[in-house]
Amino acid sequence: MKVKQLYTNCLAQGAYYISHNGEAAIIDPLRETAPYLELLKQNNDTLKYIFETHFHADFVSGHVDLANATGAKIVFGPNAETSYNSYTANDNEEFKIGQLTLKVLHTPGHTLESSCYLLTDINNKPHCIFTGDTLFIGDVGRPDLAIKSTLTQEDLAGMLYDSLRNKIMHLPDDTIVYPAHGAGSACGKNMSKETFDTLGNQKKTNYALQNISKKDFVYELTTGITPAPQYFSKNALLNKSGYKNYEDVINSGAKALDVSDFEKALHDQKTLVLDVRKPEEFAARHIPNSIYVGLDGQFAPWVGTVIEHLETPILIIAPEGREAETVMRLSRVGYDNCIGFLKGGFDSWEKAGKKTARIDTVNADQYIENYSKGIETLDVRKKGEYDTNHLENTHNKPLDFIYDWLNDFNKDSTYYINCAGGYRSVIAASVLKSKGFKNLVNVVGGFGAIEKTGVTTCKSTCAKS
């Protein structure tokens, strides 16, 4: 028996490969099929099933392309209807992988079709459960992401309470819990950094599995939920209705354009330039009005936050050798309309004598000198981060909701911007500059560097609006 977790850190997402006696199943695959096809080849396995725990909102799954490449059957739990060929299983229906058994446990609550898959060994003993977004390590899935549901989040939270207690908690304590996400995902509130655990330990440590009333559970689960990123509902619909072939997306997007062709494409007012280099490189020099989201951070979720439309034509500025990777990672969240990258990267633009822009920067010590003079600061960390510790008289304006608050500020005023470490602040500065803000200063190293100066900090009670 082989059970392999395939964890992707930038999405905080876990896919799973299960095999026995030459047959395999894959649960919640990512968009790109090559890693799974290589695993099948290495293990000399035939892919029999592709199981989906639900219609994912935070990434585009690879189930459709993988099924087309292998002939495997796509399986969802009850209540799932798709626009492509798939099988909707019944609650408690069983599927064989070699001599192993995967049992469908319908667990509505995160979404109506959400289902877990219980894997039992050749002796019919529960070995592990693939819980999707129903049960995380330290948390459970948020109840506000169901597609076009007439139910309230309180209704769904109540369903999740019942699902956990009727379908999961009675399983043996040594059953391994394999969730779809870990810390960093927006699909829950307080997920652990651990990517798996035993059910017994989760019963001891996960608030959602404690001896609490349904009323208290619903209150706890629905309190403090921030609005979902705008791309979530769009990705969920893609997973339900289907999407462009992945190889076609890569082939059309990873085209090298010389400076002349790049500039011609740039003149289309609908085209967006996405720069994925390091934040300090972007701050020093970039193409005017380009948007920054660095590859070496939580790339896909922030792309989904700051690029408002999946159909936007995208031109790429990337480090040489990472252009195809950029197109691939964009496709993971449904941005399939890349039209090419600048051959030779940003250096070729500069060598051609084209116009460039920059973002002013200060280090933490310089920032504190200016802070004492009453400057305006935008702290773009999440509210929970800000509430834990921040500077007095600063504005908490999370990057997550930048398009909701940017019109609250004067485009001619000077604003210093910080996040935790200097990644999100450059993203925010790029968006604000593209919207006409003229005087922005990035704090290098973010709040982590600010704290090290010894300046007095405070809790949420001293925040600006």
**Per-residue model confidence as pLDDT tens digits over 335-348:** 999 999 999 999 99
Q: What is the pLDDT of residues 316-367, one digit of tens each?
A: 999 999 999 999 999 999 999 999 999 999 999 999 999 999 999 999 999 9
pLDDT higher than 90, residue 10: no
What is residue 436's predicted lDDT score, i.e. its pLDDT?
A: 96
Band of residue 464 on the pLDDT scale cut at 50, 70, 90: low
Tokens standing for residue 176 = 């391994």
pLDDT of residue 229: 87
Domains of the chain: 2-233 (3.60.15.10), 244-351 (3.40.250.10), 360-462 (3.40.250.10)
In the predicted model, what is the mean pLDDT of residues 54-82?
A: 97
The larger pLDDT score, comparing residue 380 to residue 191, is at 380
Statement: residue 444 has pLDDT above 90 = yes
Residue 149, pLDDT score: 76
The least confident of 45-54, 220-229, 257-266 is 220-229
Q: How confident is the model at residue 150 (pLDDT cuts 50, 70, 90)?
A: confident
pLDDT over threshold 90, residue 90: yes
- Evaluate if residue 465 carries a pLDDT over 60: no
**Is 297's pLDDT higher than 70?**
yes
Q: Average pLDDT over the chain, rounded to whole?
A: 95
Provide the percentage of residues in the chain whose pLDDT is more than 70: 99
Helices 323-331 and 246-253, packing angle to 10 deg: 140
Give the whole-angstrom CA distance, residue 299 versus residue 423.
10
Q: What is the pLDDT of residue 228?
A: 86
pLDDT in tens, 169-217: 999 999 999 999 998 887 777 788 899 999 999 999 999 999 999 999 9
Cβ–Cβ under 8 Å, residues 300 and 332: yes
Q: To the nearest whole percent, how much of the chain has pLDDT over 90?
A: 89
Residue 119 pLDDT: 98
| Residue range 413-440, pLDDT digits in tens | 999 999 999 999 999 999 999 999 999 9
Please report which confidence band the pLDDT of residue 106 belongs to, taking 50, 70 and 90 as the band edges. very high
